[in-house]
Amino acid sequence: MSQTALRRYEVVDFAQIPAIACPCGDARRAFADVADFPATIHQTQITLDARAHYHKRLTETYYFVECAPGAQMQLDDELVPVRPGMCILIRPGVRHRAVGRMTVVIVCLPKFDPADEWFD
């Protein structure tokens, strides 16, 4: 039996994942190819020009790792101040965008699908 077949866990090094441009900045998405894991985990560098968007099926949980002073999340029509250590659950249909520079870890359930990003 191979070493891979014996392993019951997955390891990812976000530094080894190519960044993909997204409405928020640059995302590195992990575990999309792991069939028995129902989510994807993203490390995202948020830029100042994040675009408001929403998802019809996806639920995202943002965990804030680093935030510039004054960083906020726009959730529908509300601006919520954020700082490292905070976490926000964003249900389907909530229009959202990051305001200010930050690094976030996003848990996306089910797995991220670029066809489920909607803009007004």
Domain locations in the chain as residue ranges: 3-116
User: Do 52 and 94 contact (CB within 8 A), yes or no?
Assistant: no
Provide the pLDDT for residue 1: 45
pLDDT digits (tens, 9 = 90+) for 15-39: 999 999 988 899 999 999 999 999 9
Type and span of the H or E element at 5: helix 3-6
DSSP state of 14: G
Strand order in the sheet with 78-81: 78-81, 72-75, 96-99
Cis peptide leading into residue 110 (ω within 30°): yes
pLDDT digits (tens, 9 = 90+) for 75-107: 999 999 999 999 999 999 999 999 999 999 999
For domain 3-116, is the CATH number 3.30.465.10? Answer: no
User: Do 106 and 44 contact (CB within 8 A), yes or no?
Assistant: yes
Give first-to-last CA distance, the chain, whole Å.
52
